[in-house]
Amino acid sequence: MDGHGGKLIPDSIMKDLFTDDDEAMFISKCKKISTWGIGSDRVIIMSENYLMLLTQRDIDKREDIRSVNYCIKSNSSNEVLIHFINNTDWRLVFEKRDELLDLLTARFPSFEKKRTLRQYAVPEASLRAYKATKT
C-alpha cells in the first residue's frame, strides 16, 4: 500500500497538477537514474500535454510533450532515456515503459505535424553511455 488508499498520487495533489483542459493519461512508479547510476523512486505521469516526474513531496521535473526530441530504450532491460530539445534527459527504469512510449508516440503528432518522434532500441542494459552531454 502506498499510504494514499492504493493510489500513487493523492487526490489533493492530482487536483493541483491538472487544469480543466489537461488530465492524466498514464501514471506509474519508476526509478530515475542519476549520472552516477543511483536510482531514486519517482512517479511518472503523462498528461495530455506534459510529462512529469514527481517525488513524494512535489513535482521534480515537468516537460511539454512538444519538447521531447527522441527516446532510447534498452532491449535487455526496462530502461528508457527520454531526451528533450533543451538538451536534458530523463533516464528511467520501470516495467510499463513500452506502454508509456506507445502513448507518447500516439500523442506526439497532435502537437508536431512536421516532426516525428524518433525512437531507438539498443542492446545494452544500461543507457548511461547515451546520456546527453551539456554543451
**Greater model confidence, 49 or 21:** 49
pLDDT at 10: 60
Query: What's phi and psi for 56, nearest 5 deg?
Result: -70, -20
pLDDT over 70 (residue 12): no
pTM of the full predicted structure? 0.85
In this prediction, residues 82-96 reach a mean pLDDT of: 94
d(CA 2, CA 64): 28
Class of domain 11-130: mainly beta
Residues ≥6 apart with Cβ < 8 Å to 80: 71, 72, 73, 74, 91, 92, 93, 94, 97, 100, 101, 127
d(CA 78, CA 100): 12
pLDDT single digits (tens) 28-75: 999 999 888 899 999 999 999 999 998 877 778 889 999 999 999 999
Q: Specify the amino acid at residue 7.
A: K
pLDDT at 96: 95
| DSSP-assigned letter for residue 134 | P
pLDDT single digits (tens) 92-135: 999 999 999 999 999 999 988 888 899 999 999 999 998 776 65
Coil vs helix vs strand at 97: helix
**Contact between residue 80 and residue 102 where contact means Cβ atoms under 8 Å apart:** no
Q: Predicted confidence band at 22 (pLDDT cuts at 50, 70, 90)? A: confident
pLDDT over 60 (residue 9): yes
CA distances from 4 to 44, 47, 54 (A): 16, 20, 15
